[in-house]
Structure 1
Amino acid sequence: MPFLVIDSSMLQSQELRSYLQGSPHNFAVLADYAWIEIYKQQTVEAIKHGLSVVGDFPDQLVLLRANGEIIQLDPIEPDLRDRMQFKGTADSIREMAAIFRSATVDDAAVLKQVHGHWSFANGLLPELIEGAVEIAASLPEMEEQMFTKAEIRIIRTSRQYPAAMMETIYGAAMQIWETLAHTYGLPWQDLGDNRIARTYLFRYALGLVIHLLWWISSGSQPVRRMDRMSNDMIDLSFCVYASYFDGFMTADEKARWIHANLVAALEAIAHG
């Protein structure tokens, strides 16, 4: 019974439709940022298109709680993956899909609902852009502080990382995690590595370091497009969500690489 997190770019794809048609036990996991993509154009026709696949399979959709709620989940309590999900959403999705299928372009009531959803989603975007600017500015400094010139050559030639580099990577992720945990007021003292590795913020911190590795391997080019950096941070969130489930459906090569390496790193922690 696979649960795949679906990247925003795959929401209307034939690949997703084929996956859901393949078995009633195939589930698509949708995060809050996926809904931003559906609602951001603020038109009935655009949302009809956005729901064109997932609206046909309401019983096979899993909706994740808002990012801020997931960040606060206690990693020590059991059933973390279940606690990340909204329950009993199939009827609401079925009703929403039916409303938009029957709506006309100038349906005032539906357009008001669309505007309300978009206003909420749009409120998240300035925070994403601000975070992306900060991360983009810190990439050169992180590269210089974390790795020697010899290690940068290793990253750019895709050789296997030596043990000392792996320790540097995990150490950097732990430092970022501690900073984020403090910012969000989360307790982090006295948690062992395996419990810390279950938290969303540690996985996000580790994903940021893996994103840094991709950036270095691609030549350490200055980030000039903050909209693309914001998209990278959204993709990173999808990668983190997918690390709790059975896989990640995405057409983005970078996101696929970051997810695969994040999962591998978490497995190494679990067996370390």
Structure 2
Amino acid sequence: MRKVVDSNFLRSNGLRDYLAGSPKNLALLTDYAAMEAYKGDTLLSIQGSMEILAEFPSQVLVLKNTLVACGLHGRTSGLQRRFIDESQTKGFSAYCRQLAAARTGDPTLIRKLMEHGEEAKRHLEERMLSDAKTLPTTIETVAKGYTAQELAILRNDEPYSEEMIKKLVLGVLRTAVAMFKEHPRVQHLPNQKDMPNTFIFRAALSAYLLALDWIAIAGPKAAFGASHKKLRNDMVDINFVAYATYFDDLLTNDEKTIRIYDKARLLLWRVFGCQISGLNA
């Protein structure tokens, strides 16, 4: 089993139970999980967040960061393998030893960890918070595309109508195409067959489902009253969702993230024709 680990699950006994259950159970670590682990009091936070993984270093796969993932092609062959950062995965045991050395007071390693912490803080507290400010307007715009009857379907968690599926597909495609055109790692638009397997497409789908979740649970205007930090956390969570759709599961304690992940997998399989673990058997 290969399961992506949400940052909120890194200190969970459930993670230890999963890894101890079988040497074939692998934990997949993303760049946002690492950034979340570094934020706050870096030296204490990173030690606590990596403690369980450090007990099972050979069962950790480090995934390529989001910037690189966005540039990966979507051909089915070798899809999972392309996301694995072989170098960082091989070096994870050494990284755990460095954490242990930093805990004993090694000044060079402490300085290095603090630098990572500052970079994580800049990304999460500055760039991501800035992006989060636009989320309420996006949610409201998505809601305006649905009729009163369709909004009731969303609120009641009923099966989407054919027309709602069409709107979802069009909305996701528009978002994905805009992201493809703006991203520095993308040279050209992928073809129709490969596009649903690209990270950008799955991130766009996850973001659209986040908007629908806000609309269904709290209402289309509720996000305007939410803190930017909460909205930022939502954006981080859909990054975990996008990565996890390529593998066997997502280890998380967050109910909203689970809802979005389950819907993303189902739509990728039923609507977009992707090979999804556990659904194509």
- TM-score under structure 2 normalisation? 0.89
Match of 1:171 in 2: 170
How is 1:67-216 mapped onto 2 (pairs within 5 angstroms)?
A: 67-76=66-75, 78-89=77-88, 92-104=91-103, 107-125=106-124, 126-144=126-144, 146-184=145-183, 186=186, 189=189, 191-192=191-192, 194-216=193-215
With 135-144 and 229-238 compared, the bigger mean Cα shift is at 135-144
Indicate how the Cα distance of structure 1 residues 61 and 168 shifts in structure 2: closer, same or farther if over 3 A, else same: same
Indicate how the Cα distance of structure 1 residues 222 and 116 shifts in structure 2: closer, same or farther if over 3 A, else same: closer
Q: 1:133 offset after TM fit, Å?
A: 1.1
Is the Cα contact below 8 Å between 2:214 and 2:223 reproduced in 1? no
Match of 2:279 in 1: none
What is the one-letter code of the residue matched to 2:68? Answer: E
Deviations 1:81-125 (A, max 9, x none): 211111154552222222323444754223201112113322322
With 73-82 and 159-168 compared, the bigger mean Cα shift is at 73-82
Partner Cα separation in structure 2 for residue 195 and residue 143 of structure 1: 29
Partner Cα separation in structure 2 for residue 42 and residue 213 of structure 1: 34
Cα RMSD (Å): 1.9
Partner Cα separation in structure 1 for residue 90 and residue 113 of structure 2: 19
Match of 1:261 in 2: 263
Q: 1:44 offset after TM fit, Å?
A: 3.0
Is the Cα contact below 8 Å between 2:31 and 2:64 reproduced in 1? yes
Matched length: 269
SS of residue matched to 1:62: strand
What is the one-letter code of the residue matched to 2:141? Answer: E
Deviations 1:201-252 (A, max 9, x none): 1111111111111111113113321101010000000000000001000000
What is the one-letter code of the residue matched to 1:50? Answer: S
- What stretches of structure 2 of length at least 5 have no aligned partner? 275-281
- What stretches of structure 1 of length at least 5 have no aligned partner? none
- TM-score under structure 1 normalisation? 0.92
Aligned sequence identity (%): 25
Partner Cα separation in structure 1 for residue 129 and residue 103 of structure 2: 34
Match of 2:227 in 1: 225
